[in-house]
Structure 1
Amino acid sequence: MPHIDAARALSDAQIQHFIENGFVKIDAAFPRELAEQGRAILWRDSGCDPDDPASWAKPVIRLGHYADAPFRAAGNTPILHAAYDRLVGPGRWRKPGALGTFPVRFPSPDDPGDAGWHVDVSFGLENLDFLSWRANVRSKGRALLMLFLFSDVGERDAPTRIRIGSHREIARQLAPAGEEGLSLRELAANGFDETADCPEVAAVGEAGTVYLCHPFLVHSAQSHRGTRPRFMAQPPLLPAEPLVLERADGAHSPVEQAIRLALR
């Protein structure tokens, strides 16, 4: 792997921003050329014509688990590997082999039907009822939530909405439930009203931008009011070992530090 430019490594200020706010934005985390190659594959599989808006009949199309070369390369740039090390810890994450599901959003006046606030739960996925999927305070099964922008995304292009600092409230909700954690149904019982006062930011950026987010960050889709479809992947970064909230050597990752601070 090429040596990473030290100027592109996450700064201490960015790490602190992640701990406090729950995310960090990395511009040009992967090359635009990979985004273009990825979009070509997604357009092919979408059944839509990029030059014919009349073919964009639905507000959102979900395309499946993508492990093609452009997607694997996008998830494994030196910049991102260094960021994974800083946020999760060296040796504590698994190299992404794919970029998961792409919700492709098209300009539309219609409700996409999936624009509610939520967190991405991470275990119990064998249950056919997705509201029974679970998360626990050690984020079993997920080290990071990641947003990979494969197209330019402006304010009107259905950027993911993020509730800044909401990960702290979710940590406090999960802590009493221990290893069993809570289901998505339980977490969403109050519509995530506990985080309603959090400031909000939109995950905008140019193709090649990546948002690395704490796994407990509350976020939401929204309707597309722009003119060009939005292509984004939202894979997890998988852990190589469980999070540890009480390390004898004190070497807690920023993901762990954020949880520990929330529980003080």
Structure 2
Amino acid sequence: MQIIDVDRFITDGFAKVEAIVPQEVGDAARALLWRQIGLSPDDPSGWTKPVVWASDLTGQGPFGQFTRSPKLREALDAVAGRGGWLPRGSTGNIPVRFPRVPPADDLGWHIDHNTPRPDGTWGVSGRPATMLLLVLFSEVGPDDAPTRVRAGSQRDVAGALDAEVRDLMALGQLFDDAGRDCPVALATGLPGDAYLVHPFTVHAAQEHHGTQPRFMAQMPVMLKKPLAPGDDTPLGRATGW
């Protein structure tokens, strides 16, 4: 059985991988994250901020089951080529979005930093060294602040960037325009689901209109070598180069 729809990834610049771990593993990770942020799923009076940041920096317990998932490994191999990516030791930063409060000022269209500079800072370029992985630790429906994705926008961005490493914040207009006419998809699913997102695919957060907080990791997966013209993996073919 196919783990990931590779054709859809090439066309849309992202694809879902269902149940990279069982749902109960996602539930266990979420319980640890509640404890980490010092809030309770049973006491909405403490939900006063639109976003609270949590993290997994060790890959212990249920978080390690995510990063070592055989399904995830197979999906990444299918998209980036076998051995074309580097395993992660942890799930990294995890924004928790809360309902019933004014939204955060972070809802603009963008791509993530994808290119390291020699001084250790990061920018964006047409030779990205990472791709994006979204991992769900809670059930995310259409009203639960799912990440918005402009399906197919990766080709517009690929055509607009070159080898120069540029400041992400200076490219707001490019990202506003890229894929403007593309259909918008929503990264919905259950705890344990994941999305592989092309480094050029334009995406955005959105306001939470639901009732339960949304827990989702958004982590870069390092590529073994930067993506460049001539790459014949699905990751390369998705650019339209």
Q: Find the aligned partners of 1:245 and 1:72 in 2 and give their Cα distance.
A: 34
**Aligned residue identity for 2:64:** R
Identity across the alignment (%): 40
Q: Find the aligned partners of 1:109 and 1:50 in 2 and give their Cα distance.
A: 15
Kindly report the root-mean-square deviation, in angstroms, between the aligned alpha carbons of the 2 structures: 2.0
**Aligned residue identity for 1:241:** K
Query: Which residue of 1 is the match for residue 89 of structure 2?
Result: 97
Q: Bigger radius of gyration, 1 or 2?
A: 1
Question: SS in structure 1 opposite 2:178?
Answer: helix
Query: Which residue of 2 is the match for residue 42 of structure 1?
Result: 33
**Aligned residue identity for 1:182:** R
- How far is the alpha carbon of 1:34 from its aligned partner? 1.4
The one-character-per-residue Cα deviations of 1:226-261 (angstroms, maximum 9, x if unpaired) are 1111100011111122334236xxxx11111122x2
TM-score, normalised on structure 2? 0.92
Unaligned runs of 5+ in 2: none
- How far is the alpha carbon of 1:32 from its aligned partner? 1.1
Q: Find the aligned partners of 1:133 and 1:125 in 2 and give their Cα distance.
A: 6
**Aligned residue identity for 1:254:** P
Matched, 1:77 2:57: no
Higher deviation after alignment, 212-221 or 62-71: 62-71
- How far is the alpha carbon of 1:150 from its aligned partner? 0.6
Contact 1:31 1:74 (8 Å CA) reproduced: no
- How far is the alpha carbon of 1:75 from its aligned partner? 2.2
Q: Find the aligned partners of 1:217 and 1:191 in 2 and give their Cα distance.
A: 9
Unaligned runs of 5+ in 1: 1-6
- How far is the alpha carbon of 1:188 from its aligned partner? 1.3
Q: Find the aligned partners of 1:225 and 1:125 in 2 and give their Cα distance.
A: 38
Query: Which residue of 1 is the match for residue 12 of structure 2?
Result: 21
Q: Find the aligned partners of 1:56 and 1:108 in 2 and give their Cα distance.
A: 8
Q: 1:17 to 1:135 in 2, by over 3 A?
A: same
Which of 125, 132, 138 aligns to 1:136? It is 125
Matched, 1:254 2:231: no
Q: Find the aligned partners of 2:174 and 2:161 in 1 and give their Cα distance.
A: 14
- How far is the alpha carbon of 1:65 from its aligned partner? 4.3
The one-character-per-residue Cα deviations of 1:186-208 (angstroms, maximum 9, x if unpaired) are 32145522322111011111111
TM-score, normalised on structure 1? 0.85
Higher deviation after alignment, 69-78 or 84-93: 69-78
The one-character-per-residue Cα deviations of 1:32-89 (angstroms, maximum 9, x if unpaired) are 1211121111101112112100011111101234332311211221111111111001
Query: Which residue of 2 is the match for residue 222 of structure 1?
Result: 206
Greater strand fraction, Structure 1 or Structure 2: 2
Q: Find the aligned partners of 1:151 and 1:8 in 2 and give their Cα distance.
A: 24
